[in-house]
């Protein structure tokens, strides 16, 4: 079997990995002692074992005079496995991963075009691993934020520490959001082309995972704001109690007055909201129907009528009032169009022809939009009384956008 055989290379890689993982298992106690301390204790290690650990890059020696320490990657691995929030790093380097994914896609295409199916499968496997690693880094970072919110942030007693922890968590959230924004799906769609396996992996699957990450980050932010607000509320109460305790120390003979018997209650104490009992008509009591009817007839009727809208009057109104008046005028004109359709007794009426024939001063696009909106706002039972037909065309042969040119409305004749 030649040295370039991919199966031989895979077998050598597996055997080397088993050997390195075995080193971790055999010297687990010494490695954990080095994780808890500044340096790795060498009392339980032979010279051969130390050289093997150094060669496997599990341990390293920063300088000749210093001691042996855990490699940074091994320390991060142990922190991840232990969920040690004091040493875990919230990091998701996306740019380098995206560059590697672009390179793997190009290699995948070259192998596919050359008919090298084994290399094609290997490149696709590496792509899956990179996508899984990317999602895993985001998931671990968000999990680290959750754990820190429920430990460091949730149980800090001082306001300064709470604010600093809050700022740190907010900055980490911003970094994660910036990393997520680096993933441009329009570029990925163009990169994968029409290949089904790549589209499923780099577009649909990755998009679903990123949506989950965005949702988790929003929940983290919501939890962060909730904890900060709760802490400020608790702090204000504790300050009030501490102030009262200090006041009582300075005035040991203070006795609270009977504020219920005073005619003028201090504003600080008189904070109770007025009680307004709610009442409602009991429509299910048939015996009270006559009394309810008499009460309704005794209600005063409104004598003020809205003044008609004139051009001079509109000019003097505030901006919001003028907009509301114009919107109401448009709604009334559209209702007049619907009444005209009812009068036609089954004949279709063009919305634009009605607009031009009635000399109404409305923009055609705005008019058609309001006609369609009024139809969609009707209840289902009333919608079935009309038939709405849109006169529309496609924007272009390559675009499925539909352009509405006119709307025809008629009554639905009974069968």
Token pair in block for residue 291 = 């009394």
CB atoms within 10 A of CB 355: 21
DSSP bridge pairs for 392: 404
pLDDT value at residue 90 = 52
Helix axes 6-26, 117-148, angle to 10 degrees: 30
Q: What's the CA gap between 196 and 210, in Å, rounded?
A: 20
395 backbone dihedrals φ, ψ, rounded to 5°: -65, -40
CB atoms within 10 A of CB 27: 21
Q: What per-residue string of b and e applies to 223-259 under the rule 16 or more CB within 10 Å gives b?
A: bbeebbeebeeeeeeeeeeeeeeeeeeeeeeeeeeee
pLDDT value at residue 3 = 45
CB atoms within 10 A of CB 120: 19
Helices first, then strands: H and E counts in the chain? 16, 5
Q: What's the CA gap between 413 and 390, in Å, rounded?
A: 19
Q: Which pTM value belongs to this model?
A: 0.45
Under-50 pLDDT residues of the chain: 1-3, 309-317
Q: What's the CA gap between 118 and 102, in Å, rounded?
A: 19
Note the pLDDT tens digit of each residue in 199-213.
888 888 888 888 988
Q: What's the CA gap between 348 and 408, in Å, rounded?
A: 6
Decide: 79 and 87 in contact? Cβ < 8 Å: yes
DSSP bridge pairs for 70: 59
Note the pLDDT tens digit of each residue in 228-271.
787 778 778 888 888 889 999 998 888 877 767 777 777 776 67
CB atoms within 10 A of CB 305: 6
The SS3 of residue 392 is strand
Q: Give just the sign of the alpha carbon dihedral 28, 30, 32, 35.
A: negative
CATH architecture, domain defined by 83-242: Up-down Bundle (1.20)
Token pair in block for residue 359 = 């000399």
The SS3 of residue 42 is coil
């Amino acid at each position: 079997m030649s040295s370039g055989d991919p199966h031989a290379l895979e077998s050598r890689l597996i055997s080397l990995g088993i050997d390195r993982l075995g080193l971790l298992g055999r010297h687990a106690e010494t490695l954990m002692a080095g994780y808890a301390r500044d340096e790795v204790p060498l009392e339980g290690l032979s010279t051969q074992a130390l050289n093997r650990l150094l060669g496997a890059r599990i341990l390293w020696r920063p300088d000749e005079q210093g001691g042996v320490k855990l490699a940074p990657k091994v320390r991060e691995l142990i922190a991840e496995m232990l969920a040690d929030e004091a040493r875990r790093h919230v990091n998701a380097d996306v740019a380098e991963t995206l560059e590697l994914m672009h390179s793997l896609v190009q290699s995948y295409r070259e192998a596919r075009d050359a008919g090298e199916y084994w290399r094609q499968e290997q490149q696709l496997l590496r792509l899956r691993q990179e996508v899984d690693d990317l999602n895993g880094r985001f998931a671990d970072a968000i999990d680290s934020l959750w754990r820190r919110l429920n430990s460091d942030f949730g149980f800090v007693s001082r306001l300064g520490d709470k604010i600093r922890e809050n700022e740190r968590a907010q900055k980490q959230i911003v970094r994660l959001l910036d990393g997520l924004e680096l993933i441009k799906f329009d570029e990925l769609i163009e990169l994968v082309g029409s290949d089904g396996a790549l589209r499923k992996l780099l577009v649909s699957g990755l998009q679903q995972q990123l949506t989950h990450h965005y949702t988790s980050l929003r929940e983290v932010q919501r939890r962060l704001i909730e904890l900060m607000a709760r802490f400020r509320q608790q702090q204000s109460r504790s300050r009030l109690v501490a102030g009262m305790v200090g006041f009582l120390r300075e005035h040991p003979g203070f006795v609270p007055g009977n504020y219920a018997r005073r005619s003028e209650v201090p504003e600080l104490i008189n904070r109770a909201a007025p009680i307004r009992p709610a009442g409602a008509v009991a429509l299910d009591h048939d015996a009270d129907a006559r009394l309810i009817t008499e009460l309704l007839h005794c209600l005063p009727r409104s004598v003020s009528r809205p003044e008609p809208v004139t051009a001079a009057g509109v000019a003097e109104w505030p901006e919001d009032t003028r907009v509301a008046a114009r919107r109401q005028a448009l709604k009334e004109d559209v209702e007049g169009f619907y009444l005209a359709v009812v009068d036609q007794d089954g004949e279709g009426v063009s919305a634009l022809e009605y607009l031009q024939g009635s000399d109404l001063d409305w923009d055609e696009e705005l008019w058609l939009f309001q006609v369609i909106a009024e139809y969609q706002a009707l209840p289902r039972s009333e919608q079935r009384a009309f038939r709405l037909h849109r006169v529309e065309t496609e924007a272009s042969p390559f675009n499925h956008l539909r352009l509405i040119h006119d709307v025809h409305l008629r009554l639905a004749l009974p069968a």
